[in-house]
Structure 1
Amino acid sequence: MDRNVIICRSILENPAVTQRDLSKELNVSLGTVNNLIKECIEKNYIEIGSGSDTYELLPAGQALLSQNKVDGAVIIAAGFGSRFVPLTFETPKGLLEVFGERMIERQIRQLHEAGIKNITIVVGYLKEKFEYLIDKYQVKLLYNPEYSHKNTLTTIYHARHILRGKNMYVLSSDNWMRHNMYHAYEGGAWYSASYMEGDTSEWCLDYNKKGRILNVSVGGQDKWVMYGPVFFSRTFSEQFLTVLENYYNLPGTEQFYWENVYMEMLSGEAAKRLPHIPEAKKDIDLFINRRPADEVYEFENLEELRRFDLKYQRHSDNEAMELVSDVFQVPESEITEIRCLKAGMTNKSFLFKIKDRHYICRIPGPGTELLINRQQEKAVYDALSGLDISEKVIYFNGETGYKIAEFYEGAHNADPDNQEEMERCMAVVRKFHKSGLKVDHTFDIRERIDFYETLCKAHGDILFDDYTIVRRQMTELINKLDSFNHEKVLSHIDTVVDNFLMLPGGEVRLIDWEYSGMCDPLVDISMCAIYSYYDEKQTDDLIRIYLDREPTDEERYTIYAYIALGGFLWSLWAVYKAALGEEFGEYTIIMYRYAKNYYKKCSEIPKI
């Protein structure tokens, strides 16, 4: 790092700056500062002012600064912030307030105070929430289309054309700086660092006497660690971005942070991975910027934010937290151990603890009000309340779809390849099929297919080339099933193995009844088979487990037909969700293949 730049910058900002101030800024001794002052005077960067306690910046010093002027900033704001649920279900982490000011706005304001107005925010999750910043602060937004399944290596990759050839800050939207640490000029590339006493899992730094980082290791003891803002000089970016671009195309780097690339450049691993890239073999200069304690904050979770800003202990302005507080009649501060659960295809949910018990709060995902009737779902839970079949529901709102249920400690999801577990699951399915429970609504697969088809066409074409043929085949199957006139019973419809909870005591609970209604009970066997991605043998085994005997031709035809229809229905569902911006990978194709393959199997069953 060019310390002369820092001396000139400090004098430009405050001609009366003291050597003690410079010592603190540079993290060097007073003797070193005195030598640096003499060096700057010898190079005609500065001179002693008319008062003995001031300095004056000379034209050569101004020219030095102009070469090191900061061109702008990139703020990373694409991620979800899973450790801040449920707040981040509604608001991106960087837009959360600390002491009444949004974290990203505080950083933008601090950048403006330093004269930095060229600011680009890289967005992804809830990108629309950042749009207002364009008008308020004249920032630019850059969308990262890979935010949901890749890490910050990809974010920097998509911003590379903004960084290349410029001196740029690279910031995280969810950092909070007590003091403004940005400047109009910087003396070289650096990474902000905080000192961590004792054991730490942070990214620890080793550096030489001049502050150049020599090594990065994850975890250590009594170390300076990467913490907060970063500055990319144009010379750093010229080398680093070339290597990062090549890393982007390497298999296995999808979950890399951009710092992983830098770490491997220091260790020599980058040269091994990219022997044909000269930049990967060269030493790269990035300096430690050691910051005082309690200046930079990276809040790791909601508990940390609560300790810092007491407002979040009392009132977080979050609908889900307010609901939990009201249902259990406790202040928000008593809602603890909050963490995001694996997001479902339809809903979001989070785990939390009150006193000595854990619970799950389910929040309907966007657009589900079109797909699911929550009043009907509530009616099913009401009907099941006398049986030990479903999860224990503490609260259910038939208008909003919010649900709070007990969490079963030590439970695990059913294993579709474990016959003993599937036998226990099918016993539960038989139990509610034979329970005689009734609700006033049905699950009509013809109506559902028509409905999803309408939704898909309203959002664009259905992209299967043979859709018209397959659609006609599905109608043929529905007409045949209607002719059987099977009795309708309460059916779950969504019998994916993840909805079967295997409790430690041997009991089984079937959860998430949002698609359920009166229907041919054999539909649940079909849905379980396709959700488990079963082949024909596994499907036939499941049929025998449920029936406890060999099926009749009509029963086999019925289950095969529902497999085809279920595959067709859920492929349309996935096409519609994709039109809303949610992708489910190969799921769409797998479901569509079930539709086509099991239509053929139905046609092979004789005398039906």
Structure 2
Amino acid sequence: MKKLDIIKLVFNIQDNDIEFSPLKQGMTNDSFIFSINNERYIIRVPGVNTERIINRYQEYDVYQAIKNEEFVEPVVYIDGESGYKISKFIENSHTVNPKDWNEISACLKRLRDFHNQSHRVEHCFDVFEHINYYESLMPNASIYEDYGETKKNIESLEPIIENLVKEWTLCHIDAVCDNFLVTENQDVYLIDFEYAAMQDPDLDLAMFIVYSLFDRQEIDRIIDIYFEHQVTTLKRYKIYSYIAMVGLLWSNWCEAKQDQNLLNSTYAKQQYNYAKMFYQIVFDEARNVSEFGELVNHHG
């Protein structure tokens, strides 16, 4: 079905003159604004081959689990098979500015509050499973000559992380600045739960960090804000480990997309750099942290 047919079906109308305004062309979808009875909505149209990357049935389950949340996007319709989604347009809002620390603080509070709701679904997000899956979608070997060594290093963090995970709740997984909206009343909404699944909330924080290409000083500031300056050194290195892991994850995702403009972007290159740099930080420094150091020495 085309987007016009879906809108007519959802709203039970016969209007063929609905006008669409492009909202954004995302990495996996296109979004358009339209109006019904003077109220604006957004329809998401899945991109080509998106089904290889996103499980729409799982996404549907997530939206059912969070449908009563006040500060998530108000979804009117979602199809667990096709991936079409219609939500109300959040008026007078903008995506979070990663250079505005007041906005960053507000969305980190929203993310923490979301984690504390302890929503549950039946599926989880396995980082290493997705690293391997995205690798399988690459048409050729990785563009990075040292990929094999880098992947081996990242894999060595897995048993360490498994011994440190303490929490398990519904996570956004793609908790990046573009998926937070701030209204003129300073309300913060969390949107676009395509990848959401059960995971450790510390991983969500790593996801927030890598997308906006923060440096280490900024990363430490973000960690401190999220944990209200109560974070332990052990927890900090755990998040560093996640940064390394998700850096490789999204680097592979970029290669799986087979988009040359994306592969040549600062974003793609920085994801791979995160994998290498934060693995090295953990390997070099975390040995001095008693509990973490024991795990590094044991599995290193």
* TM-score of the aligned structures, taking structure 2 as reference length: 0.92
CA distance in 2, matches of 1:463, 1:504: 44
Q: Secondary structure of the equivalent of 1:484?
A: coil
CA distance in 2, matches of 1:485, 1:539: 20
Displacement, 1:583? 3.3
Runs of 4+ aligned structure 1 residues displaced above 4 Å come to none
CA distance in 2, matches of 1:487, 1:409: 35
Displacement, 1:550? 4.0
1:333 maps to 16
Identity within the alignment, %:
37
Q: Which amino acid aligns with 1:443?
A: F
Equivalent residue runs for 1:151-190 within 5 Å: none
1:583 maps to 262
CA distance in 1, matches of 2:135, 2:255: 9
Q: Secondary structure of the equivalent of 1:432?
A: helix
1:465-517 Cα offsets, whole Å, 9 max, x none, are 10111011110112210121322111111111011000122211110001110
1:34-63 Cα offsets, whole Å, 9 max, x none, are xxxxxxxxxxxxxxxxxxxxxxxxxxxxxx
1:320 maps to 3
2:40 maps to 358
Displacement, 1:582? 6.6
Q: Are the equivalent residues in 2 in contact too, given 1:493–1:527 (CA < 8 A)?
A: yes
Equivalent residue runs for 1:12-23 within 5 Å: none
2:212 maps to 532
Displacement, 1:584? 4.8
Q: Secondary structure of the equivalent of 1:335?
A: coil
More strand by share: 1
CA distance in 2, matches of 1:602, 1:494: 23
Is 1:485 aligned with 2:168? no
Q: Which amino acid aligns with 1:323?
A: I
Structure 1 segments unaligned to the other structure (5+ residues): 1-317
1:267-326 Cα offsets, whole Å, 9 max, x none, are xxxxxxxxxxxxxxxxxxxxxxxxxxxxxxxxxxxxxxxxxxxxxxxxxxx711111111
Aligned residues: 287
Is 1:460 aligned with 2:140? yes
Structure 2 segments unaligned to the other structure (5+ residues): 293-300
Q: Are the equivalent residues in 1 in contact too, given 2:8–2:14 (CA < 8 A)?
A: yes
Tell which structure's C-alpha radius of gyration is larger: 1
1:372-403 Cα offsets, whole Å, 9 max, x none, are 11111111111111111210000000011100
Q: 1:584 to 1:464 in 2, by over 3 A?
A: closer
1:495 to 144, 162, 175: 175
Q: Are the equivalent residues in 2 in contact too, given 1:325–1:335 (CA < 8 A)?
A: no
Q: Which amino acid aligns with 1:528?
A: F
Q: 1:549 to 1:532 in 2, by over 3 A?
A: same
CA distance in 2, matches of 1:334, 1:326: 15
CA distance in 1, matches of 2:18, 2:263: 32
2:91 to 409, 429, 442: 409
* TM-score of the aligned structures, taking structure 1 as reference length: 0.46
Q: Secondary structure of the equivalent of 1:415?
A: coil
Q: Secondary structure of the equivalent of 2:13?
A: coil
Which one has more relative contact order, counting CA pairs under 8 Å at least 6 apart? 2
Q: Secondary structure of the equivalent of 1:515?
A: coil
CA distance in 2, matches of 1:585, 1:485: 34
Q: Are the equivalent residues in 2 in contact too, given 1:348–1:365 (CA < 8 A)?
A: yes
Is 1:381 aligned with 2:63? yes
2:222 maps to 542
Q: 1:381 to 1:326 in 2, by over 3 A?
A: same
CA RMSD of aligned residues (A): 1.4
CA distance in 1, matches of 2:67, 2:263: 33
Q: Are the equivalent residues in 2 in contact too, given 1:334–1:355 (CA < 8 A)?
A: no
Displacement, 1:334? 4.7
2:250 to 540, 553, 570: 570
CA distance in 2, matches of 1:480, 1:326: 50
Q: Which amino acid aligns with 1:355?
A: N
